[in-house]
Chains A and B, each alone.
Chain A
C-alpha cells in the first residue's frame, strides 16, 4: 500500500481547501435554491404550533409598534412636537428590528448549525445568506404595516415612495455583510452571542429610532454630534425609509445620509464576505 507520499495521485482534488473568490461565488450561486428553501422552511416552521399560525408574521410588527407607541407617545409624551409620531416610530422600530434580527440570527448560523455543517459539504456562506433572507421575508409584512400607517396618518402616496427600493436593497446588503462578520466572530468567540443583544440595545438608543436628530434637541446643533449620526449606518438606513415615506418630517442632510449608507454598505459587504470566507476551513471544528 503506498503510504506517506506527499503528492496526491493524479485526478484527485483536495477537500476542505479554500476556493478562490470567483469559484466560491460560483458555488454559492449554484446552490442559491438551498438558501431560499432553507429560509422558507424555517419561516414556515416558526409559527407551526401556534394557534394564530402565519398571522404572527403580520401581528409581530403591529404589536411591536403598538408597544413603543403606548410607552413613548401615550404614557411619556416624548413626541417633541413631531407631527406624525406613530409613522416616525413605526419606521424606526420595524427597520431596526429587521437589522437586529438578521444580524443576531446570522451570528448564530455557524455555531447553531454544527449538525448540518458536520454532515454536508457546501459553501458555508449559504447559512448566513439564508438567515438574512429568512429575516428579510419576515420583515416584508412590516413594510406593509409601515405603508398602511403612513397612509392612514395622512402622508399620502408620492413618487418618493420609489426610494423604498434602493433603501431596501442597501439595508439588505449592509445587514448581510454585518451578518457575515458576526457569524465568524461568534464562531471564534462564543461570547459574541452574549454581547450582541447589549450592543444592539446601545445602538438602538444611539440611532434615532425614538427621536428626531434635528434642532428639537440642542445637543444635535453641535456639529460633531451631528457628524457621528451621519457616520452611523444604522441611523442613515432608518432615515432613508423616513425620507421615502414621510412628508410631515424632513430628514436633515438626506444627501449625506444616502452617501454614507452606500459607502457603509459596500464596506460591510466586501469586508464581511472576505472575513467570513477566510474562516471557512475552520467552521465545524467547534
Chain B
C-alpha cells in the first residue's frame, strides 16, 4: 500500500523478537439479516436462497505487527471496520481468511458488550474472571479490588441491565484488566465514562504498557489518541490506510475529514 510510508514511531525501546501481535492478511466477513423487500431480480437470480442476508466484508486484508510497550490508536469513520478488527485480534470473531498470532490471549473491552444483563454486577465480575481463566480463589481474592476500581459499591448487587452505559463501561474495564492482560484491546469503552474514570483508566493503560504489554485503542477522540498512543492506524473501508506516528496520521485524517465535509459523499 502506497500510504503506509511513515515508519511506526516506538518511544519504548523494542528489540527484535518482542512482537506481541502479528496479523497476517486478515479478512473478516459476517452475515447480517437485512430488513428490506428483495428486488424481483434478486428473487429470480437467487432462486430458493434467501436474498435478504447481506455479507459484510468488514476487514479486507490487514497485515500488522505490534510490539511490547506500544499503545496503538485506531481511528477511522463509523463502519470502517475498527471494531471488527479488534474482535478478530481478540480471537472472538473468527477470520474468514488469514490469521492472527499473539503472544498470549488478548483481552477485549467493548462498550456494547453486555455480559449477563439479568445478573448482578458482582456475579458478572466472578463470571467474567472465571471465563477468562481465573480460578475461583483468584477471583475472590481480587473481587474487592475490582469493585473498588469500579466505584460502584452501592450498585454492585443490582442486575447490570439497570446500569448506565458509563457504569457498564467501568465494570467491563475492571473485569477485562483484572487478569492483567499482556494485550488489551479497548473499543470506545472509555468514551462513555466520566472524567474520573477516564483518568483512572488511562493510568491503568499506562501501567499495562510499562509492564511491556500492548494496548490497542479505538476512539473517536483524536485528543485522547494523541495523548495516549505511540502509534496510530487509520482504518478505512476495511483496510489500513495509514500507519505511523500519532501526529502525522491524525493530521492526515483531519485533512481527509475536512475534505469530506466540503465535498460530501466524495470518499467516505
Binding site for B on A (CB under 8 A): 1-6, 8-16, 30-31, 33-34, 37-38, 41-42, 44-45, 48, 115-122, 126, 281-286
Report yes or no: A10 in contact with B17, Cβ–Cβ below 8 A. Answer: yes
CA A115 to CA B110, docked complex, whole Å: 10
Report yes or no: B19 in contact with A12, Cβ–Cβ below 8 A. Answer: yes
Report yes or no: A284 in contact with B94, Cβ–Cβ below 8 A. Answer: yes
Report yes or no: B22 in contact with A12, Cβ–Cβ below 8 A. Answer: yes
Report yes or no: B92 in contact with A119, Cβ–Cβ below 8 A. Answer: yes
Report yes or no: B22 in contact with A9, Cβ–Cβ below 8 A. Answer: yes
CA A9 to CA B19, docked complex, whole Å: 7
Interface of B is mostly: mixed
> Within 8 Å CB of A1, what residues of B?
4, 7-8, 65, 243
Taken residue by residue from 77 to 108, chain B's Cβ proximity to chain A (1 for < 8 Å, 0 otherwise) reads as 00000000001111111110001111101101
Report yes or no: B17 in contact with A122, Cβ–Cβ below 8 A. Answer: no
Shortest CB-to-CB span from A76 to chain B, Å, is 39
> Within 8 Å CB of A6, what residues of B?
24-25
> Within 8 Å CB of A126, what residues of B?
131
Report yes or no: B127 in contact with A8, Cβ–Cβ below 8 A. Answer: no
Select the stretch in B112-120, B206-214, B217-225 that faces chain A.
B112-120
Binding site for A on B (CB under 8 A): 4, 7-8, 17, 19-22, 24-25, 30-32, 63-65, 87-95, 99-103, 105-106, 108, 110, 112-116, 118-119, 123, 126-128, 130-133, 135-136, 159, 172, 243
Report yes or no: B127 in contact with A34, Cβ–Cβ below 8 A. Answer: yes
Report yes or no: A31 in contact with B30, Cβ–Cβ below 8 A. Answer: no
Report yes or no: B24 in contact with A12, Cβ–Cβ below 8 A. Answer: no
> Within 8 Å CB of B92, what residues of A?
117-121, 284
CA A239 to CA B243, docked complex, whole Å: 67
* Given A5-B24, A31-B130, A33-B135, A45 and B91 contact (CB-CB distance below 8 Å): no
The chain B residue sitting closest to A34, CB to CB, is: B130
Report yes or no: B65 in contact with A121, Cβ–Cβ below 8 A. Answer: no
Shortest CB-to-CB span from B140 to chain A, Å, is 11
> Within 8 Å CB of B118, what residues of A?
42, 45, 48
**Which residue of A11, A14, A45 is within 8 Å of B119 (Cβ)?**
A45
Report yes or no: A38 in contact with B65, Cβ–Cβ below 8 A. Answer: no
CA A285 to CA B99, docked complex, whole Å: 16
Shortest CB-to-CB span from B157 to chain A, Å, is 11
Shortest CB-to-CB span from A141 to chain B, Å, is 21
> Within 8 Å CB of A33, what residues of B?
130, 135-136
> Within 8 Å CB of B32, what residues of A?
286
Chosen A-B contacts, 30 in total, with CB atoms closer than 8 Å, are: A1-B243, A3-B4, A4-B25, A5-B24, A9-B65, A9-B101, A12-B19, A12-B20, A12-B101, A13-B102, A13-B103, A15-B106, A30-B133, A33-B135, A34-B131, A37-B123, A37-B130, A37-B136, A42-B118, A115-B113, A115-B115, A116-B115, A117-B92, A118-B87, A118-B92, A119-B172, A120-B132, A121-B91, A121-B108, A283-B94
> Within 8 Å CB of A15, what residues of B?
89-91, 99-102, 105-106
CA A286 to CA B89, docked complex, whole Å: 17
Shortest CB-to-CB span from A269 to chain B, Å, is 24
Report yes or no: B31 in contact with A3, Cβ–Cβ below 8 A. Answer: no
The chain B residue sitting closest to A6, CB to CB, is: B24
Report yes or no: A37 in contact with B65, Cβ–Cβ below 8 A. Answer: no
Report yes or no: A281 in contact with B116, Cβ–Cβ below 8 A. Answer: no
Report yes or no: B110 in contact with A119, Cβ–Cβ below 8 A. Answer: yes
Report yes or no: A121 in contact with B130, Cβ–Cβ below 8 A. Answer: no
> Within 8 Å CB of A45, what residues of B?
116, 118-119, 159
Shortest CB-to-CB span from B117 to chain A, Å, is 8
> Within 8 Å CB of A5, what residues of B?
24
CA A282 to CA B28, docked complex, whole Å: 11
The chain B residue sitting closest to A113, CB to CB, is: B116
* Given A1-B65, A16-B100, A285-B93, A9 and B123 contact (CB-CB distance below 8 Å): no
* Given A1-B65, A118-B92, A286-B31, A41 and B127 contact (CB-CB distance below 8 Å): yes
> Within 8 Å CB of B99, what residues of A?
8, 14-16
Report yes or no: A286 in contact with B30, Cβ–Cβ below 8 A. Answer: yes
Report yes or no: A122 in contact with B131, Cβ–Cβ below 8 A. Answer: yes
Shortest CB-to-CB span from B95 to chain A, Å, is 6
> Within 8 Å CB of A118, what residues of B?
87, 92-93, 110, 113
CA A117 to CA B65, docked complex, whole Å: 25
Report yes or no: B93 in contact with A284, Cβ–Cβ below 8 A. Answer: yes
The chain B residue sitting closest to A35, CB to CB, is: B130
> Within 8 Å CB of A122, what residues of B?
131-133
> Within 8 Å CB of B103, what residues of A?
11-13
**Which residue of B19, B20, B114, B136 is within 8 Å of A115 (Cβ)?**
B114
